[in-house]
Amino acid sequence: MSGKKLMRGNEAIAEAAIRAGCRNYFAYPITPQAELLQWMAEHMPEQENGTFLQAESEIGAISMVYGAASTGERTMTSSSSPGISLKQEGISYLAGSELPAVIVNIMRGGPGLGNIQPAQGDYFQATKGGGHGDYRLIVLAPSTVPEAGELTFKAFDLADKYRNPVIVLADGMIGQMMEPVELPSPINPSDLPDKPWATTGTDGREPNSIRSFALGGKKLQAMNKNLQEKYERVKKAEIRYEEIGVEEPDVLIAAFGTVARIVRSTRRLAQEEGINVGIFRPITLWPFPGDRLAELSRRVNTVLTVEMNAGQMVEDVRLSVGSDVNTPFYGEQGGVVPDPNRILEEVKKYV
């Protein structure tokens, strides 16, 4: 496949993973990310040393990711909200063992089984550490189908660079919608980084040990300090965001993913009424671009956060900008997608 092609978001993510050198994919079916699994089932076996396996459960899938990632091979799993919840223990093990892997969450409405409509209710789970212990995941949030492919490709590089799991956090709308996509060229396997830490056999070297188990408080504390130092390096080097119309806004909207593209329509509607709406879109949800948002907040009286949940990213927004700025929230839940006109009504309250 070369040049532009019309693809679903799920398909673009899957193909981007293959092109990024992913050769191990383990997952269990769940809507609305089923097309991702189907694409991998069809195309992963075509790759040299490519492995596709539909696991017996989400817990089985994340355990297989742990094993494959231990060998240094680029590895991925995907699911949707309830399935990601089942993977949390394994994700904590991956982070504690410093294993690179990519985890895709195509979010749906919740809590519980919820429904298969798009939602953003997993922000806390992804950015605060949904499993046990003090760990962090790099979290990338695309707002278009092409960006979903680009960020998935980038996720593998970040996972290898920091020996850390990376989440691509999208939702059912991005997973199901179709847009023209031109993906990066397939990576040359010889260009992948060396991984001297991997468990590839001990011929000619001492055995490697990969574990998140450390008896004794001092040993485990040393391991945790090492992780925290790594997270600080990530925060200094990997923050990403997008700004639109932030020079002299009347109101600044903070939004991510699907909602960030919806508020572009709100911005156009507002301009027709002489209202200047700025948009700040975090691309990395962790590390969160709080310093830049704090700078922008000095230009306005109000930073309105819009999400498809009951208010999750808004907590990071408020921590970033402080109490001197008005920080209201508007959200829809349960798979209801915000309407640009309804968001505009909220904007007008603060002009």
pLDDT at 115 exceeding the cut of 80: yes
Q: Judge whether residue 2 has pLDDT over 80.
A: no
Q: What is the DSSP letter of 302?
A: B
Q: At what angle do helices 9-19 and 145-162 cross, to 10 degrees?
A: 40
Average pLDDT, the chain: 96
Segment 205-225 mean pLDDT: 92
Query: Would you tell me how many other CB atoms lie within 10 Å of the CB of residue 56?
Result: 10
How far lies 109's CA from each of 15, 77, 87, 250, in Å? 26, 20, 18, 32
Q: pTM for the complete prediction? A: 0.97
Q: Which residues, 6+ apart, have CB-to-CB distance to 321 below 8 Å?
A: 293, 294, 297, 303, 327
Binning pLDDT at 50, 70 and 90, where does residue 217 land? confident
- The whole-number pLDDT of residue 144 equals 98
Chain centroid, CA 276 distance in Å: 30
Question: What per-residue confidence (pLDDT) applies to 189?
Answer: 86
Q: Does the pLDDT of residue 306 top 70, yes or no? A: yes
d(CA 163, CA 233): 12
pLDDT at position 1 over 80: no
Neighbours of 215 (CB within 10 A): 6
Please tell me the distance from the alpha carbon of residue 83 to that of residue 124, in angstroms, as a whole number: 16
Q: How many other CB atoms are found less than 10 A from the CB of residue 190?
A: 5
Tell me which of 20-34, 202-216, 217-231, 251-265 is least confident.
Answer: 202-216
31 C-beta neighbours (distance < 10 Å), count: 14
Summarize the confidence of residues 77-87 as an average pLDDT: 98
